[in-house]
Amino acid sequence: MAGLIPEETISKVRENVNIVNVISQYVSLEKKGKDYIGLCPFHEEKTPSFTVNEGKQFFKCFGCGKGGNVFTFLMEKENLTFPESVQKVADFAHIEIGEYGQQKPKYSNILIKINEEAADFYHRVLVSTNAGKPGLEYARERDLSDEILNHFRIGYAPKQNNLLLTYLRGKDYRDEDLLASGLFVQSKSGEMFDRFRDRLMFTLTNEGDYAVGFSGRRLSTDKTEAKYINSPETKVFEKSQVLFHFSEAKKAARSENHLVLYEGYMDVIAAYKAGVKSGIASMGTSLTDQQVYMLKRITKNIIINYDGDDPGVHAEERAVKLFNKAGGFDLGVVVLPEKLDPDEYVQKYGVEKYQEQIKGALTPTDFFLQRLAKKYNLDNDRQKLAYLDEAMQEIAQLSNPVEQDLYLDRIAQQQNVSKDSLKVNLLKYRRQFNAAKQHTGGQILNEAEFQQDNGPAPEYHQDIAIKNDPVQTRLLYLFIHSEHARDYLLQHKFLFPDSDYQKLAELWLNFSETHEKPTVNSFLNFIPEQLQGIIVNAEMADMPQDFSDREICEQIYALDMRQVDKQLNNLMNELQDAKRTMDTDKIMSITQQILQLKRIQGQRGAL
């Protein structure tokens, strides 16, 4: 598995990177004791069960069961091969891995490879060819510098027919793969054409920063054509699970301490030019639950800054509700004046003013109350009462009493009413809200509701339970970590009852004999994927290092007695059958076997 890269190179890469730093690119981790915990990147969950052990350099999700080392993580998260994961970790740690890094591709997925080739093609056309002049002129009109064009991998799809198709066919890609990439359309006669022509091209990447699709911005004035065209959904591109600039923004989120959600690509770029590096945007559609969960894994601090026009503000309302439904977020909302979008605001008022808008983001309650005030004529008593009633319903949902009190004070002063009178309505709605919440919370979730709240049940859950035998796990741990324990077990000709545990013991024997400095972390890369979970369970269980020969004997005896218990159970069932059929000989035979096994059990109790 690891033959493509020298083992010493793999060890060098693994030993010079901290798994916490790599996984932090995908998950916001919080230190709890000796471990780091966060929300699992492999399945949706409300309570963090994803654990990273810095000392042992392993990760484990106790919700879905996935676990392993730094290479395993990237293989699972980015669908990489083992050599590709080593390359990616080496890039992260700025480690040169020699000829391999120069000769092998960064990715094996053919659709990602095609999209990466297309991204490079579009970018070269834009910045260095005559065919790209229309795109470059438009880019300069929008004040897009070379640094911006490079950072966002912006390109241009030329007007000429099928230049990309010709280019990629020249690299020996199969038509069926090209068609599956989403970059081409096919006529009824079977002829293929470039999907994008005469458009400024925005590269859409996944979490690992690999190109998976594109969005093309129309340059012509022909309004019969769509302003933006996106790649269709493919095996590597699902709009609901992609956010523009996410792979870069999540790095900036550590220093800026938030992510800023925008409506469009140009808004993200305008914010980037204004010094806000943590900007992201959805794919021209409404925010999805999956995208909200992606954000939650990175940070709880989200600022929403959609366009300042009416559709943009309505979209902000929907987004706030979606975040509130998910829970656990600290939201800020920016509504720019004069119905400007972020790009227009930066151009009109400049960088400093825009940064002040971000710093002064409203709370969701402030945002709602401002919107509510515009809905009513507050000079009319009847409408003012309706406004106050609706405002109390909103404030009643706040869990923080200090926050409730703050808004009560503000509304009382603004509307010239007593705070006590507002409190009466507030308490009424608070009781109603709590009663509704209690009623909902008291219901028993059915299976569908459970999966909706906690994500789909892992397909391999049953296997995890079977392959997490505490007794065999302890013996395997000692077999691997202690030469004395290993010799003791081998001398007593011990065999693990479970074939997978036995296979791992045999693999470790071979591995330790053929490697000068064998480690569990390096061993993980040389065993079948279906066996890795057993090793991770053993390493993450925080096993005691100390042991005695007596402990080993007791563990072996426990396994023997487990077999005795199983035999007894089977014999008791057979005895019942024999009694029903009045088979005297069989009753006597089974009874003798049961007595013999019970004597063995008795000897166990006397120890």
CB 65 within 8 A of CB 533: yes
Q: Which residues does residue 302 pair with via DSSP β-bridges, in sequence order?
A: 259, 331
Both 324 and 354 in a single domain?
A: yes
Both 127 and 80 in a single domain?
A: no
pLDDT category, 122, cuts 50, 70, 90? Answer: very high
| C-alpha pair distances (Å), 372 with each of 217, 232, 256, 314, 394 | 36, 39, 31, 12, 10
Percent of the chain with pLDDT over 70: 91
**pLDDT, tens digit, 9 for 90 and up, residues 145-196:** 999 999 999 999 999 989 999 999 999 999 999 999 999 999 999 999 999 9
pLDDT category, 458, cuts 50, 70, 90? Answer: very low
- The CATH code of the domain that includes 491 is 1.10.860
Element (DSSP H or E) covering residue 441: helix 419-442
Domain count, the chain: 6
Q: Which of 237, 261, 291 is the last residue of a domain?
A: 237
Any domain includes 98: no
Q: How far apart are CA 607 and CA 599, in angstroms?
A: 13
Both 332 and 233 in a single domain?
A: no
pLDDT category, 450, cuts 50, 70, 90? Answer: very low
Any domain includes 460: no
Q: Which residues does residue 36 pair with via DSSP β-bridges, in sequence order?
A: 31, 52
pLDDT, residue 528, reads 86
Q: φ and ψ at 567, to 5 degrees?
A: -65, -40
Both 349 and 407 in a single domain?
A: no
pLDDT category, 140, cuts 50, 70, 90? Answer: very high
Any domain includes 105: no
Give the residue-averaged pLDDT of 91-120.
78
Both 253 and 345 in a single domain?
A: yes
pLDDT tops 80 at residue 38: yes
**pLDDT, tens digit, 9 for 90 and up, residues 565-590:** 777 777 788 878 778 888 788 888 88
CB 109 within 8 A of CB 79: yes
pLDDT tops 50 at residue 352: yes
pLDDT, residue 104, reads 45
- The CATH code of the domain that includes 49 is 3.90.580.10
Give the residue-averaged pLDDT of 402-423.
91
Both 156 and 196 in a single domain?
A: yes
pLDDT, residue 419, reads 87
pLDDT tops 60 at residue 446: no
| Three-state secondary structure call for residue 300 | coil
Give the residue-averaged pLDDT of 42-52.
92
Any domain includes 452: no
Could you tell me the pTM of the whole model?
0.76
pLDDT, residue 604, reads 52
pLDDT, residue 440, reads 55
pLDDT, residue 138, reads 96
Both 537 and 561 in a single domain?
A: no
Both 118 and 233 in a single domain?
A: yes
Four-point Cα dihedral 165, 168, 173, 178, nearest 10: -40
Any domain includes 101: no
Q: How far apart are CA 294 and CA 40, in angstroms?
A: 10
Any domain includes 366: no
CB 425 within 8 A of CB 387: no
pLDDT category, 545, cuts 50, 70, 90? Answer: confident
Q: How far apart are the first and last CA of the chain?
A: 47
Both 487 and 508 in a single domain?
A: yes
Q: φ and ψ at 577, to 5 degrees?
A: -65, -40
Residue 39 domain boundaries: 7-93
pLDDT tops 70 at residue 100: no
Average of per-residue pLDDT values in the chain: 86
Q: How far apart are CA 568 and CA 556, in angstroms?
A: 19
CB 42 within 8 A of CB 30: no
In the chain, the amino acid numbered 147 is E
Give the residue-averaged pLDDT of 485-507.
89
DSSP string spanning 178-220? HHHTTSEEE-TTS-EEES--SEEEEEEE-TTS-EEEEEEEE-S
Q: 218: exposed, middle or buried (C-beta count within 10 Å: 0-12, 13-18, 19+)?
A: middle
Q: Which of 547, 580, 596 is the last residue of a domain?
A: 547
| Three-state secondary structure call for residue 277 | coil
Both 568 and 519 in a single domain?
A: no
Any domain includes 582: yes
Any domain includes 451: no
Both 335 and 263 in a single domain?
A: yes
Give the residue-averaged pLDDT of 542-563.
83
Q: Which of 93, 122, 138 is the last residue of a domain?
A: 93
| Three-state secondary structure call for residue 94 | coil
pLDDT, residue 437, reads 65
**Vertex 287, ends 282 and 293: CA angle to 5°?**
95
Instruction: Among 147-156, 173-182, 219-228, 290-299, name the one with the lowest average pLDDT.
Output: 219-228
- The CATH code of the domain that includes 147 is 3.90.980.10
**Vertex 348, ends 345 and 351: CA angle to 5°?**
70
Q: How far apart are CA 402 and CA 44, in angstroms?
A: 32
pLDDT, residue 106, reads 57
pLDDT tops 90 at residue 538: no
Both 129 and 152 in a single domain?
A: yes
Give the residue-averaged pLDDT of 429-451.
56
pLDDT category, 204, cuts 50, 70, 90? Answer: very high
Give the residue-averaged pLDDT of 355-372.
93
